Amino acid sequence: QVQLVESGGGSVQAGGSLRLSCAISRYTYSSYCMGWFRQAPGKEREGVATIYTGSGSTYYADSVKGRFTISQDNAKHTLYLQMNSLRPEDTAMYYCALDPTWGRTYCTGAGGYRADFGYRGQGTQVTVSS
């Protein structure tokens, strides 16, 4: 069973930055889709960013383009989300997620938008104050 453990959330003022990390363990896949999605109270899940490990191709939601960067460190089995220029509307629980069955096209397209991954972590809270 794949395990995903997020860290790095917290409280920050608008305009600030945070870097989320996701440690991945117990996986045996060579190429797979990883990403981040978020969910605020009373709102639907929103796909934030994805990366296809085989090619490094990425997807970003329009709401975070130019501000967030997804990256991976294969040696450390860790996924990152660098979040800059944070806004109050970025406040949410952020989840790291993975799906070994998605190909690159779905990962960086509809999958990124729907964020219906097969595995996810417990989440880390990000709160941005104005």
Q: pLDDT 10s digit of each residue in the chain, 130 long?
A: 889 999 999 999 999 999 999 999 877 777 899 999 999 999 999 999 999 998 999 999 999 999 999 999 888 889 999 999 999 999 999 999 999 999 999 999 999 999 999 999 999 999 999 9
> Residue holding tokens 């790291």?
96
pLDDT of residue 117: 96
Radius of gyration for the alpha carbons in the chain, expressed in angstroms and rounded: 14
Q: Are 115 and 47 in contact (CB under 8 A)?
A: yes
Q: Which residues, other chains included, contact 17 with Cβ-Cβ below 8 Å and sequence gap of 6+?
A: 82, 83, 84, 85, 86
pLDDT of residue 22: 97
pLDDT of residue 1: 82
pLDDT of residue 76: 83
pLDDT of residue 11: 98
